[in-house]
Structure 1
Amino acid sequence: MAESAFLSQPKEAPSLQCERRCLLTSLPNEILREICRHLKAGDLARLCVQDTQLYELAGERDLWQPFCVAKWQQCDTPGSLLMSPAIYNDNWRALYSARMSMPPGLPICVDKLHALQLSAAATQSGTIVQRLFTESMQALFSIGLAVNQDKTLKASRDYKLCLASLIWWLRTHPEVIIAYVRQTNAALQEYDMWSSGFVNWAQIPSRRSAIAFLQAAACSAQPWEHASLLQRLEIDVGHLDYSIRSVEEESENLGVRIPAGVPAAHWWFWLSGRVTSTRSC
């Protein structure tokens, strides 16, 4: 039964509701658990609010874990969803409830960010670490857009897990972060006079925004600890911004689509009015 249909039904008389609850709670717990295993997540959630006994039974870990794994486990990212239950004290029902109120892609990006951190911690290859950080910045870009649209997400446990992953990168791989900024600058300046001009421009605005989100995260979490890195970042980001403005002066076509959630301060998405926006007026 669809949840909207359930909510639109008239409420039953209290005596009838009580009678039905009594019929359920009179069953042995083993049978109730078996019934719960065949329910969908929405039906299981509604069962939780019927009775204290049902609340406890319907909240057991082995009932909610499959729903969470099916919805957020990423087959292409080993280690995803490993840490998230811990930030909810291994309460899979709480995890499911909290994440269902978030933008659909946000939990996946948070899990991916943390899984990439775990992979980076397990390798000694600088090349692999750099690649993993690049993927992490792609996830951070999506997270930053979601949080910019809904500032209340900053209070969520998932966002705190995101910050923990970013702080790990800041502490353990500052050179990788600097290299990412410089690689972005180098990619920006690749020019093909016979085809599309600045061939990598399409990816530059999102990379620049991810850098801005990383800087903001560093400033919000013990900035004194990362003061040296932030100063170095500011210098290299200044060089990158200079290159972006130079490209604006030289290019006739810098059109990129602006995803929802881009902060107005991220000026690189709105260069010279030659940007195609998906936003409605």
Structure 2
Amino acid sequence: MEEEQDCIMSLSDFPEPILFKVFRHLEGAELAKLCTQDRRLRVVAGEQTLWQALALDRWPNATACHHGGDWQQLYRTRARLPNTFTAGIDRLHQLTRQAAGKQQLRMNSDSLPGTAASSSPAGSPLRTNVYGFSQVPYTRIPHMLLDKVMENLFSLCAWSAGRSTARRNLFATSSSSSRDACSVNSSEQAAAAASEMRLVRQDMAWWLSSKPEAVLQYVRRSSSMLDDWDMWGSGFSAWPEVVWRRSALQFLADLQLGPQEGVCPSVTERLQRELAHLDDCIRSVDAESTDLPTPTRPQGLPAKHWWYSLRGQLAGCAC
């Protein structure tokens, strides 16, 4: 009987190559539990290659650069967040890498993520050279990539704002016993979102430091959209797009990127001047129009996004 007990092996007694083969088939939660066992299992289960494979299988475009290259920390952080949020962060980073030349762009209209060849982006018509081969140099222009970046920035920040408002409302209406659990879960998710938003800060700092003219041109194009008046249709037809673009720019300004992130103060000053001009254009349109298309206001959007309140002839407060 004693001999049989001596022959019993624990999981930590197996050779590391065998443990690696077994651990490669485990889910993240199961692998995390092994990290709480004895020291040997914690070392093997904490191997970065295992967590990198798990993370890339769940988030194919993920990068651990904002977690110091720690894939285990990235997985634990992202497991608390919805996939739509993490997908938006990955797409924003992918577009920034393309603009920085760190990812190869195919010379056609579907080189932009999420853009099919049959539906090329507006303003980027297909060109053909003398040999008849398709070539679209417009796909390499930074402002085209920045348009997609700002769309993702708006979605990410609007989600964060809505989540904060929902958390406050739930905390105010829930019982004292459930408040503690709600507060813990919400705090963990808020911390996870803030950790992931560090990558967004790095990317937007790159745009302001390396491609400031593209950002300023984005503001100017937003202003020029308000020059389009459709007298036979809905008036200022571009109004809904200008509204969310202005909010995206406000989210960018709220990041407060400066010299510590490599952004020159003169760039932020120019950005503020361009935003002030855009606000003047928005107020002018509000004063001239009697009926503005009502865009859907994202839940939890801060009150300083006053342009969502305008309905024509200064119906909303612009202060």
What TM-score, normalized by structure 2, do the two folds share? 0.67
Q: Deviations over 1:185-243 (max 9, x none)?
A: 11233222222222222222221011112222245664995332233222222221122
Tell me how far apart the structure 2 counterparts of residues 130 and 179 of structure 1 sit (CA, whole Å).
8
Aligned to 1:93, the other structure's residue is in SS state: helix
- For residue 255 of structure 1, the aligned residue among 284, 294, 307 is 294
Count of residue pairs the alignment pairs up? 245
Residues 1:120 and 2:99 aligned together: yes
Query: Is 1:41 matched with 2:79?
Result: no
Q: 1:37 to 1:218 in 2, by over 3 A?
A: same
CA deviation vs aligned residue, 1:56-97 (integer Å, no higher than 9, x gap): 222222322222112222xxxxxx43xx32332332111100
Q: What secondary structure sits across from 1:191 in the alignment?
A: coil
Residue of structure 2 aligned with 1:182, choices 203, 220, 228: 220
1:158-177 map, 5 Å: 158-177=196-215
Q: What SS does the aligned partner of 2:10 have?
A: helix
Task: Please state if 1:55 is matched with 2:34.
Answer: no
CA distance in 2, matches of 1:172, 1:224: 9
The structure-2 alpha-carbon separation of the partners of 1:221 and 1:270, relative to structure 1 and needing over 3 Å to count, comes to farther
Q: Match for 1:252: what amino acid?
A: D
Q: How many angstroms apart in 1 are the aligned matches of 2:44 and 2:86?
A: 26
Structure 2: gaps of 5 or more residues:
1-7, 106-136, 165-186, 313-319
Residue of structure 2 in register with 1:106 after alignment: 85
Instruction: Return the alpha-carbon distance in structure 2 between the equivalents of residues 22 and 198 of structure 1.
Output: 75
Partner AA of 1:71 in structure 2: R
Q: Relative to structure 1, is the Cα distance of residues 94 and 117 closer, same or farther in structure 2, using a 3 angstrom cutoff?
A: same
Distance 1:57 1:160, change over 3 A: same
Which residue is 1:138 aligned to?
A: 151
Instruction: Tell me, in whole angstroms, the C-alpha distance in 2 between the residues paired with 1:169 and 1:224.
Output: 10
Kept in 2, the 8 Å contact 1:44–1:58? The answer is yes
Two-structure CA RMSD over aligned residues (Å): 3.0
Q: Is the Cα–Cα contact under 8 Å of residues 81 and 193 in structure 2 kept in the other structure?
A: no
Could you list the runs of 5+ residues in structure 1 that have no partner in the other structure? Answer: 1-20, 74-79, 274-281
Name 2:179's counterpart in structure 1: none
- Richer in helix (by share): 1
Q: Structure 1 residue 97 and structure 2 residue 76: aligned?
A: yes
Give 1:266 deviation, angstroms: 0.7
Higher deviation after alignment, 98-107 or 131-140:
98-107
CA contact (8 A) 1:248 1:254 kept: no
Rg larger for: 2
Identity, in percent, stands at 33
Whether the 8 Å CA contact 1:258–1:269 is kept in 2: the answer is: yes
